[in-house]
Amino acid sequence: MIIKEREEPDELRIFSSLHRRRSLSEKEKKYFKSMQKGYTGEKHFDSLMKQLTCPHYLLNDLRFKHHNHFFQIDAILLLANEIYLFEIKNFEGEFYYDSEKLQMKKQIEVSDPPLLQLQKSESLLRQLLQSHHYNIRIQGFVVFVHPEFTLYQAPLNKPSSCQLRSISLSGN
């Protein structure tokens, strides 16, 4: 059951409106396209989650503040005694994982490493829940949803519960 549906981000709506009214700079166009692509990937992830048959609650696009730290979570899946935290990425192309960094093959490094984003969110969520006397298992996953995404050298064992995962959008 989806408790909180995903809504189009305000910033994406603003850029969409600006794009219709005036020409965007190249930097603005790139940022706008990146936001559109991210939102598309998140919506697709949501459609996949609607296929779950086990009892669950799904909360999308959450924003929290804990000890003056703001953090955002793409999706949380609540099961009976476990929380699954998802950082959703709609990257396409060939990437490789090296020393905590996700890098595009033959190109530049990804600016915000998804695994580090996830680890920060997981840690802050755990602290927030513990401050309210909730002690529940949390597992974090980076989910790459684009069908033309390839990740080389993915780490099999990470020190935390955070993990990298790739899922197919084709339904196969």
Q: Which of 136, 102, 127, 133 is nearest to 116 (CA)?
A: 102
pLDDT digits (tens, 9 = 90+) for 99-140: 666 666 655 555 677 888 898 999 999 999 999 999 999 999
The whole-number pLDDT of residue 54 equals 84
SS3 48: helix
Query: Can you tell me the distance from the alpha carbon of 103 to that of 82, in angstroms, rounded to the nearest whole number?
Result: 31
Q: Which two tokens stand for residue 162?
A: 């955070």
Please report, to the nearest 10 degrees, the dihedral formed by the alpha carbons of residues 72, 73, 78, 84 taken in order. -130
Percent of the chain past pLDDT 90, that is, above it, reads 49
Residue 156 has pLDDT above 70, yes or no: no
Check whether 81 has a pLDDT greater than 90. no
CA separation for the pair 20, 96 (Å, rounded): 37
Both tokens assigned to 20: 């219709």
For 116, counting Cβ atoms within 10 Å of its Cβ (0-12 exposed, 13-18 middle, 19+ buried), the class is: middle
Mean predicted confidence (pLDDT) in 46-54: 87
- Give the separation between CA 62 and CA 138, rounded to whole angstroms: 16
pTM of the prediction? 0.80
- Mapping DSSP to helix (H, G, I), strand (E, B) and coil, where does residue 19 land? helix
Both structure tokens of 29: 């166009």
